[in-house]
Structure 1
């Protein structure tokens, strides 16, 4: 399906052209016709399938076609609320929203931990049409009445399964219970798996959503050559050094299960002459964003990460993925590679 075949407002068309999109991905082809008719959508699809563009195009179109409500007193009243489980995913969605919404008049803002608290609060208090955030920071500012969910017209819950995995479900419900009722807004939910607990969320907080499942022909990324090495723990590092020397590669992503192991690996690789940085949950946010940007742009050859970096991030042109530790479940393995 070509984007030109959809009835979209001109500012949205311009944003799509500017982003270089021509043909819709399977999730966009399935979700957009329903979303543009105002229906709720619960979609199962992997990271990197274009789901972010699908819900942003639908949200911007709805906002442009619906007159803005009169501004309410006391704090920001966003018309679109996008909730994501991690800071990295929040930053990525904000970046995509700015790109696709470049020609719209809407103010886009992201709130998440690890960045100057007061500065973010002041930016939010000044108002936002599209608010993207992690549950904790959204609740913080909600309790301080910096923003109000009363006028939300479009709700997006991204990586819903990860909300459960990371223990955010009570926070998510706290926010959702304060929104207008499901029939007075449009809602989208995306998840790598539509498990029973994720579906329960859709029944409780959405208005008769249409379920879409986009299952790739193969769940792991295409054209990935996978190799397994049976090796003792004390021999692992020597094998890793040998593989790095033999394989080369300019963007190598190494996964470990714990941040302690990630930091240890970073230290050992640096001492062996490999430029490496670790991306873990306790790294200062500015440093995390810089590390990610350096890796994405090819300035950093090796990134050691915990699973916080493997969900919701789509990094192009990674030459090698190394599972230093095997993940706890098969889903995480799929997301890593």
Structure 2
């Protein structure tokens, strides 16, 4: 059915059918071929020699494919403004394009638009990013996880790759998407497979955890689109299995998470392996100083930066926040009681360490709960098994560490539990954002112990900004902390004052003694 619809669309006389222009390879209507690679992580001591691009002959490439639909061109600022205000959109740059508000306004070949038919309309980040990326502009997109960022860069990537000659065996890809985790890389691959199904373009997903020889063989066959985790890509580049000489469309997805995981130096090395005249897209859930510095290093000055939502990190108002103050020893029993009330829901539980994660999952299973866990000590097959089980349409519990949970995209999580309170309030906001996505409602339950009272002030601010009810016990925790802080500060000031007086007295006596000694010495002389 889908193939028939696409063929019919290809023959239709519409403005999208010849958008590439004369002399440029058209997207052919065929069954897609997908290459899939699974690679182990490799070493972490990387040595990539810098590329002297002035001595390398690179192919020219086309970057501007955008044709503005008449309805978009005629859209007045007064019509756009209410939409911008509603979605809290902020844009920064000189050439800010008008947004594409429905798929009819996306003038692309039917082979590309047909797979988008399962969606009602573009998400906000897609509406804003597509015109700029299709023009060949560098783009920075700041939007929450689950906002449709993969298609935001995926659709222009498909067009970009299709306009160049096919990749031969042993050649570099045209599109390179770098992801912080294996799980996210696999999810991006799934989205690209859907996009490329009616084209000859191939996608190769490179990540750690499997037989290296098989992966190298798959990579050497060549693919137009590479999706890669940092470690595996560095490994293949270092061993000169592949190079990046044909990469002209470079994407960093979840840049903030990559930096959180310590990949900053590797990302900078990777960027130098890609030709400097490339088109670059960077997507991130947050916009901290570290991400800004990274963007300054290899995003072109004439880029477009798009913020969806508030510039400051705020909690999703669709998530009801519940906070309980309790002692560490009471957590397990309280969690079991809580899970009994959430028995018909899919629940994600965050634990601070791998050991806590394993122990907690074992305890819950012994008590009769359907519980799984995911942490960095697990093999890839164990992770896949746990994720597949958790994704099944029945109530279950997944216990995960922060690192293991990064990049997971499970749309129907109905509740999040912070069994271990996160290390920062930003992490708290990211964690609870795993539920209440795509307009759905969710609940977040957080356990905080008295020795974590230093989080109380910021936590209350986050809850109040999201118009949540702050529990009295949390306010009491803050009040007690402020009281003891004042007492400690007062004690410190008293000690400082006492110390200041003590040296003064000592100096005075010493001075007198010194005077006497000097006098006697002079007299004797």
Q: Which of the five TM-score ranges fits, normalised by the shorter chain? A: over 0.9
1:202 equivalent in alignment to 2:302: no
CA contact (8 A) 2:180 2:258 kept: yes
> Which 5+ residue runs of structure 2 have no aligned equivalent?
1-100, 433-525
CA contact (8 A) 2:166 2:224 kept: no
What is the correspondence of 1:163-312 to structure 2 with a 5 Å cutoff? Answer: 163-181=258-276, 184-208=277-301, 209-215=303-309, 219-298=314-393, 301-312=396-407
**Cα offset for 1:176?**
0.8
**Cα offset for 1:49?**
0.4
1:115 equivalent in alignment to 2:210: yes
1:7 counterpart residue number: 107
CA contact (8 A) 2:161 2:224 kept: no
CA contact (8 A) 1:161 1:192 kept: yes
Note closer, same or farther for the CA distance 1:107–1:224 as it changes in structure 2 (3 Å cut): same
Q: 2:116 aligns with which of 4, 9, 16?
A: 16
CA contact (8 A) 1:26 1:214 kept: yes
**Deviations for 1:234-281, whole angstroms, at most 9, x for unmatched residues?**
111111111111232331110011111101101111111112111111
CA contact (8 A) 1:250 1:298 kept: no
Note closer, same or farther for the CA distance 1:89–1:279 as it changes in structure 2 (3 Å cut): same
CA contact (8 A) 2:115 2:195 kept: yes
**Cα offset for 1:116?**
2.0
Normalised to the residue count of structure 2, the TM-score between the two structures is 0.60
Q: Could you tell which deviates more after superposition, 33-42 or 245-254?
A: 245-254
**Cα offset for 1:309?**
4.3
**Cα offset for 1:200?**
2.2
User: 1:76 & 1:292 partners in 2: Cα distance?
Assistant: 34
User: 1:143 & 1:300 partners in 2: Cα distance?
Assistant: 44
**Cα offset for 1:110?**
0.9
**Cα offset for 1:100?**
2.0
1:56 equivalent in alignment to 2:123: no
User: 1:79 & 1:33 partners in 2: Cα distance?
Assistant: 20
User: 1:113 & 1:299 partners in 2: Cα distance?
Assistant: 30
SS of 1:225's partner is strand
| Coordinate RMSD, CA, aligned | 1.8
> Which 5+ residue runs of structure 1 have no aligned equivalent?
none
**Cα offset for 1:162?**
1.4
2:123 counterpart residue number: 25
More contact order relative to length (CA 8 Å, sep ≥ 6) = 1
1:320 counterpart residue number: 415
CA contact (8 A) 2:167 2:224 kept: no
Q: Could you tell which deviates more after superposition, 204-213 or 35-44?
A: 204-213
User: 2:320 & 2:408 partners in 1: Cα distance?
Assistant: 21
1:129 equivalent in alignment to 2:224: yes
CA contact (8 A) 1:47 1:313 kept: no
Q: Could you tell which deviates more after superposition, 324-333 or 49-58?
A: 324-333
1:42 equivalent in alignment to 2:135: no
Note closer, same or farther for the CA distance 1:126–1:10 as it changes in structure 2 (3 Å cut): same
Note closer, same or farther for the CA distance 1:168–1:113 as it changes in structure 2 (3 Å cut): same
Note closer, same or farther for the CA distance 1:222–1:289 as it changes in structure 2 (3 Å cut): farther
**Deviations for 1:168-209, whole angstroms, at most 9, x for unmatched residues?**
11111111101111xx22110011222232222222212222
CA contact (8 A) 2:372 2:390 kept: no
Q: 2:192 aligns with which of 70, 80, 97?
A: 97
User: 1:15 & 1:247 partners in 2: Cα distance?
Assistant: 36
Normalised to the residue count of structure 1, the TM-score between the two structures is 0.93
